[in-house]
Structure 1
């Protein structure tokens, strides 16, 4: 991963990056942008040259705007002017992402940061650089070039080391979630996923892991997980991981949908919809990565993570439309659509969390419905909760992390859609409002903790069709950054 370090003096100057910001039109004058005063004075003449280049290049200073001036025979050999917009964390994150992609041919760059630089600037810039430089490839061929190292010129390097370390951990865990999600399902069986998490957790003291296989799931009554995974030669698993520091005052349970491939089962998907179904475990990837991050950062919050893992396949042993499934705890579901499988495995995990773990808060992440994308587009998750404070806290963390979510309603009138003549619940209502009714179905399994539960339907934002700001084409790792921000603030 890209090396980033704070320095008070440049050790080498191959490429010097100087930030540019917009000028308030109310201030008057002809220029629309200006250099941001640097904490460490650049080499003689560089500032004047850059200041003259700003109006000549007609720069506006918007976040991510970039221009390069070659300086043959001089030091630095290249001068880069980088727009940082309003100077907030999101603007610096966007600027860092653009810089990471535009400097892929460079081995080293130096960024002159402003005086009195706040931690948010350092964090946003660092995350943007690290996340935009991510690439996933399964080939023996040489990969594309990538930026090697970045020096941040600041007045007091020691003051920013912790912020950079936090940003590095956040980016590393996001990249881990992306790796898990991008991995083809020919490799990514439920057991493979559990093995990857077990290996990652081995380097972090204080984590406890339990992996239940088909025999344990059957003995304990996890009927939803067993039904969904019953059609595959790769049996289902339930991964339980716990971070429990001595100073924790709050116990949070995170649950992530872990369908390692989804054919739709007997209600088989069309090929275009099936092609990217290796991403149907992105919720599981996000919650395990966030828990690993909490342990790495030694956050003072108890976190138990549950990831029901299954492969939804078509075979003679696959569950059928019209089957009645008995979940952990005894509740039964009638299903007429085997492609609505994620809620069936989550139902088991939610009931187990409520009855056995008794946490203070429950948050689940799931690539649950296509209706989410219809309502909110490709970048925004749907958030459901009856707890206003919990919803506000999570939304604030999502915004600070540079991700996006929108709170949706849990209409009581729609509960009647869940009624079944032969079971306790009907798992896949057909009356519309697909994301809402899926959330209402999950709520039925939260028992007396329903007012401490929050659901994030994040199918659409779990995948990017191309490079977008700090996102790279493919899996986005959506939710890792938001969860870590939220967990760090949980009281």
Structure 2
């Protein structure tokens, strides 16, 4: 066989040719899900602004659809004038695959849209996005999917004893909220009841333990956990999965003013079973999660309880941007989450809930020290474990892959929605 005069692209590479009035994009990709997603995402980026595209890649069509949708995403542009519009994805895509199944294509679109919903919410600027704004977004999802929704305002939070949310949100002019969304399909009697909890800090200054300026720039995305779980329940309802799901979104803005909580304060999260010494007001995420996790344990009695949060810089340092940290004492749940993560292209790496470190979160003046400053990701997870009772529980720290510094692979600059598709895969597998 004679050698081709054209230098064909290697895996992950993109080459563009001009053929008359048409542009031909060649993508190097192996016929497996991971490579196809990345290849389709690369093609989508190369085809920005195109009106039509025909895609011919060998392999699972679902991976191609997810890659095309995720790779074509660009954050909303808020500029004005001649150059205001951002890059727009290809308008119409035709995938050449005689074996493509319409149901599979639709499922892939729903999964990809879940990631996009989470990205869009997390990328919204925080002068527009406060706890009340997030409540409105949740109400919109509840309305279109027929979900039951319950919202606690600051007065109801005080009456019920949600001390973590009230402490964190006390320094902001935008008061905290707690949102509960319930999906109860018919025919779900044998499926486990799953509660998903998502951290919802709509902006994080660090509070009195203020962050350096550079550390605040990306903090509009610190509510990614809540955005992710909201996107997941939206997708679950869209697919009609026969599994009962409840989502809890503890929402607050961590700012500073006369009402701010302080280092050395003693706070009592929901249920009153633990008191917490505040040692760093920038460890606010675990405080709002403590409220929601305790509420789930004491009031909802789930079979599975999973929280997702951009929680610690330590997890990002340990695992960088390409995978999320996973904590759980439940080997079966860990296995299911890791399998779902691999299938979705959103891998998790298990870190230990090392019991020898448990004493680090002891306090001399309260039951728990909120932020001892050692083994950061692990001690944060050990702190959260104190509020889940005997539930089957997993904690996903997505601080690394939850944000991206550039457009690469399936990720996009800014919030990534990392974990939404993996959690959806997990729930599909439980039905």
> 1:102-126 CA deviation, whole Å, 9 max, x = no partner?
1124211112355xx5xxx111111
Residue 368 to residue 218, structure 1, CA distance change in 2 (3 Å)? same
Mapped partners of 1:100, 1:345: distance in 2:
38
Indicate yes or no: 2:11 matched with 1:71: no
Mapped partners of 1:204, 1:422: distance in 2:
47
Q: Decide which of 199, 204, 207 is 2:145's aligned counterpart.
A: 204
Mapped partners of 1:439, 1:485: distance in 2:
23
Mapped partners of 1:469, 1:417: distance in 2:
38
Give the equivalent residue in structure 2 for 1:149.
92
Q: Decide which of 177, 183, 202 is 1:243's aligned counterpart.
A: 183
Residue 183 to residue 69, structure 1, CA distance change in 2 (3 Å)? closer
3-state secondary structure, aligned to 2:127: coil
Mapped partners of 2:277, 2:314: distance in 1:
21
What residue ranges of structure 1 are gaps of 5+ in the alignment?
1-28, 32-54
Give the equivalent residue in structure 1 for 2:235.
293
Mapped partners of 2:24, 2:208: distance in 1:
59
What residue ranges of structure 2 are gaps of 5+ in the alignment?
none
Indicate yes or no: 2:208 matched with 1:266: yes
Mapped partners of 2:350, 2:368: distance in 1:
25
Q: Decide which of 247, 250, 256 is 1:308's aligned counterpart.
A: 250
Q: Decide which of 435, 438, 463 is 2:403's aligned counterpart.
A: 463
Indicate yes or no: 2:390 matched with 1:442: no
Mapped partners of 1:379, 1:227: distance in 2:
33
Mapped partners of 2:384, 2:184: distance in 1:
26
Deviation at 1:70, TM superposition (A): 3.1
Deviation at 1:61, TM superposition (A): 4.6
Asked if 1 retains the 8 angstrom alpha-carbon contact of 2:243 and 2:430, the reply is yes
Mapped partners of 2:354, 2:23: distance in 1:
58
Residue 361 to residue 69, structure 1, CA distance change in 2 (3 Å)? same
Alignment of 1:3-14 (within 5 A): none
RMSD: 1.6
Mapped partners of 1:336, 1:154: distance in 2:
57
Q: Decide which of 11, 18, 28 is 1:83's aligned counterpart.
A: 28
Residue 146 to residue 446, structure 1, CA distance change in 2 (3 Å)? closer
Give the equivalent residue in structure 1 for 2:226.
284
Deviation at 1:30, TM superposition (A): 7.7
Which of 1 and 2 has greater Rg? 1
Q: Decide which of 30, 46, 59 is 2:8's aligned counterpart.
A: 59
Deviation at 1:420, TM superposition (A): 1.2
Give the equivalent residue in structure 2 for 1:479.
419
Structure 2 length-normalised TM? 0.95
Q: Decide which of 103, 107, 116 is 2:47's aligned counterpart.
A: 103
Mapped partners of 1:232, 1:60: distance in 2:
52
Mapped partners of 1:263, 1:69: distance in 2:
47
Q: Decide which of 321, 338, 342 is 2:285's aligned counterpart.
A: 342
Mapped partners of 2:281, 2:26: distance in 1:
54
Structure 1 length-normalised TM? 0.84
Mapped partners of 2:418, 2:202: distance in 1:
17
Give the equivalent residue in structure 1 for 2:134.
193
Give the equivalent residue in structure 1 for 2:343.
400
Mapped partners of 1:325, 1:309: distance in 2:
17
Deviation at 1:146, TM superposition (A): 3.1
3-state secondary structure, aligned to 1:364: strand
Mapped partners of 2:412, 2:355: distance in 1:
39
Mapped partners of 2:176, 2:327: distance in 1:
27
Give the equivalent residue in structure 2 for 1:422.
365
Deviation at 1:60, TM superposition (A): 5.1
Mapped partners of 1:68, 1:458: distance in 2:
34
3-state secondary structure, aligned to 1:321: coil
Mapped partners of 2:314, 2:57: distance in 1:
43
Mapped partners of 2:256, 2:49: distance in 1:
46
Asked if 1 retains the 8 angstrom alpha-carbon contact of 2:73 and 2:89, the reply is no
Number of residue pairs matched by the alignment = 424
Residue 175 to residue 332, structure 1, CA distance change in 2 (3 Å)? same
> 1:228-253 CA deviation, whole Å, 9 max, x = no partner?
10111110000000111122221000
Mapped partners of 2:112, 2:32: distance in 1:
19
3-state secondary structure, aligned to 1:56: coil
